[in-house]
Amino acid sequence: MLIKEALQTGRQFLTWHNIPSAHLDARVLLSHVTGLDYTALLLQSRQPLTAEQQQQYRRLLDRRAYGEPVAYLTGHKEFMGLDFIVTPAVLIPRPDTELLAETALAHLRQQPGPLAADVGTGSGAIAVSLACLLPGLRLWAVDLSAEALAVARQNAQLHRVDHRITFLQGNLLAPLPPSLQGRLDVIAANLPYIPSGEIDGLMPDVKDYEPHLALDGGLDGLDLYRRLVPAAHRFLKPGGLLLMEIGPGQGEAACQMLPPEDWQAEVKHDLAGRRRLVTARKITRAQK
Ligand SMILES: C[S@@+](CC[C@H](N)C(=O)[O-])C[C@H]1O[C@@H](n2cnc3c(N)ncnc32)[C@H](O)[C@@H]1O
């Protein structure tokens, strides 16, 4: 089978199985199997696949047809222009979360000797990309899941920023050293925010494959954020930012969790105009 035939059959096969991103997925899987990027696949379209490559490609197409996400099949996902290792122990980083990372970066760039925490770090996408993009930054990254933390550590090593990130297992900000209280410039949180009752209605590739610990945010989706807010206030320095990714309909309820005497809050829109990020600046009595 030639490369161009493999691409065509892969696309047809995934389309036939109602995979919405059939064209892109066939190409990404073929790139993974051959080690060739998209340009090279086009330039070498008349090259034959080896028998082993054909077999591996067929196996991956079958798994994709059953709904397994491409990133778990290849073991990789790009975030903020960087390559991240992903396994089924972590949520696949989403392009939507780049709004949070970019907002954190813009604030941290203004701070001397910046310090930040990433709570619910998962693959480490936020912590590792911030560390890569800001060489003076020191971070603490927390997750409940030991398996997720192992992946996050691998990503920090891959990008050679592991010496600037302390990984801690535990609940929300509980594992942070008390000596950090009042000192953090940013707390980044992409915690689970899907209401429990909506999990069953999610796309099969999300609900059947991604860890529910990374999705389920309780009754209205905001349980974890509600618990995070008071602790975040203790750990931020005056003027520091708490950033929380939310679902499109959660902006108003999320802002109600932030007492106006403690926080100056607003909701940012993503490029599609959806309200997806709460930015809350810690205010102190002296600033009021
Ligand atoms: C939506 S995922 C986000 C992963 C990553 N930050 C990203 O943006 O791709 C949420 C993460 O929060 C973790 N988590 C869930 N409950 C937690 C808790 N109480 N304390 C700390 N981490 C928690 C999950 O294990 C999961 O890795």
Q: How far is the CA of 130 from the centre of ligand 1 (A)?
A: 17
Mean model confidence pLDDT for the chain: 95
Q: H or E stretch including 285?
A: none
Ligand 1, closest atom to CA 191?
Answer: 10
Q: Are 17 and 59 in contact (CB under 8 A)?
A: no
Query: Is the confidence at residue 286, as pLDDT, over 70?
Result: no
The total number of residues written for the chain in this structure: 288
Q: Which ranges of the chain does DSSP label H, i.e. alpha helix?
A: 3-16, 22-34, 38-43, 51-65, 70-74, 98-108, 125-133, 146-158, 204-207, 223-235, 251-256
Q: How confident is the model at residue 272 (pLDDT cuts 50, 70, 90)?
A: confident
Q: Are 119 and 189 in contact (CB under 8 A)?
A: yes
Can you give the pLDDT at residue 246? 97
Cβ-Cβ contacts under 8 Å for 136 (sequence gap 6 or more): 113, 114
What does DSSP assign to residue 151? H
- Mean pLDDT computed over 47-56: 96
| Cα distance between residue 116 and residue 130, in whole Å | 9
DSSP string, 97-112: GHHHHHHHHHHHTTSS
Half-sphere exposure at residue 285, Cβ-oriented, CA atoms within 13 angstroms: 0
| Cα distance between residue 113 and residue 178, in whole Å | 19
- Mean pLDDT computed over 77-99: 97
Annotated binding-site residue? 122: yes
Q: How far is the CA of 41 from the centre of ligand 1 (A)?
A: 36
What's the pLDDT tens digit per position in 107-165? 999 999 999 999 999 999 999 999 999 999 999 999 999 999 999 999 999 999 999 99
Q: Please, what's the largest Cα pairwise distance for the chain?
A: 72
Q: Are 10 and 61 in contact (CB under 8 A)?
A: yes
| Residue having the nearest C-alpha atom to atom 13 of ligand 1 | 120
Ligand 1, closest atom to CA 171?
Answer: 20
Annotated binding-site residue? 118: no
| Cα distance between residue 279 and residue 217, in whole Å | 19
- Using CB distances shorter than 6 Å, the residues near ligand 1 are 90-91, 93, 97, 119-123, 125-126, 142-145, 148, 171-172, 190-192, 213-214, 224
DSSP string, 174-198: TTS-GGGTTTEEEEEE----B-GGG
Sign of CA dihedral 197, 255, 247, 170: negative
What's the pLDDT tens digit per position in 201-225? 998 889 999 999 989 999 999 999 9
| Residue having the nearest C-alpha atom to atom 12 of ligand 1 | 120
Can you give the pLDDT at residue 178? 97
Can you give the pLDDT at residue 287? 53
| Cα distance between residue 77 and residue 145, in whole Å | 20
Q: How far is the CA of 118 from the centre of ligand 1 (A)?
A: 9
Q: Which of 91, 169, 202, 224 to mutate for ligand 1's pocket (most ligand atoms within 8 Å of CB)?
A: 91
Query: Is the confidence at residue 285, as pLDDT, over 80?
Result: no
Annotated binding-site residue? 124: yes
Percent of the chain with pLDDT over 90: 95
Query: Is the confidence at residue 261, as pLDDT, over 90?
Result: yes
| Cα distance between residue 74 and residue 33, in whole Å | 9
Q: How far is the CA of 273 from the centre of ligand 1 (A)?
A: 25
Sign of CA dihedral 243, 249, 254, 260: positive
| Cα distance between residue 67 and residue 2, in whole Å | 26
Can you give the pLDDT at residue 237? 97
DSSP string, 64-100: HHTT--HHHHHTEEEETTEEEE--TTSPPP-GGGHHH
Three-state SS for 42?
Answer: helix
Ligand 1, closest atom to CA 122?
Answer: 27
Q: Which domains does the chain have, with CATH numbers?
A: 3-66 (1.10.8.10), 76-287 (3.40.50.150)
Q: Which of 213, 226, 270 to mutate for ligand 1's pocket (most ligand atoms within 8 Å of CB)?
A: 213
Query: Is the confidence at residue 288, as pLDDT, over 60?
Result: no
Percent of the chain with pLDDT over 70: 99
What's the pLDDT tens digit per position in 15-42? 999 999 999 999 999 999 999 999 999 9
Backbone angles phi, psi at 238, to 5 degrees: -55, 130
Q: Name the nearest CA neighbour of 64 among 12, 27, 29.
A: 29
Q: Which of 78, 80, 190, 202 to mutate for ligand 1's pocket (most ligand atoms within 8 Å of CB)?
A: 190
